[in-house]
Amino acid sequence: MKVGSNGNGTITAITHQNATAEIALLYQDIIIKADRLVDKGIIDVEGNESWERLKIHTVPLLRYMCDGIKGLQKIMAEIRAENKEVAIPAQLR
């Protein structure tokens, strides 16, 4: 797990690609005990984001990559147009 802190001083942890925050939270007591070695004021841990992966296959690379950032905006618009239920919380990469 990669642990660090952001500009606001929030301690963040990124789990392994095959482990979810829900799995990590099964070990909440252990995590809190370890966190308190760094900051005794920590009283709770929680997951705050759910990241999804959408894989797209057999699409010509030039369709989206030839326009730089406009290409990513184009694919995002197409995904939203065809998949109303899909929420895209961040920029594509």
Query: 69 and 91 in one domain?
Result: yes
**pTM of structure:** 0.41
Is the residue at 45 inside a domain?
A: no
Q: How many domains does the chain have?
A: 2
What's the pLDDT at 50?
A: 63
Buried b or exposed e, range 61-84, using 16+ CB within 10 angstroms: eeebeeeeeebeeeeeeeeeeeee
Is the residue at 43 inside a domain?
A: no
Of 40 and 3, the structure prediction assigns the larger pLDDT to 40
pLDDT tens per residue, range 25-77:
898 898 888 878 878 888 888 776 666 677 777 777 777 777 667 787 888 88
Name every residue whose Cβ is closer than 8 Å to that of residue 32 and which is 6 or more positions away in sequence: 42, 43, 44, 45
Round to whole Å and give the CA distance between 37 and 12. 15
Is the residue at 14 inside a domain?
A: yes
What's the pLDDT at 70?
A: 79
Name every residue whose Cβ is closer than 8 Å to that of residue 76 and which is 6 or more positions away in sequence: 88, 91, 92
What's the pLDDT at 21?
A: 75
Query: 29 and 65 in one domain?
Result: no
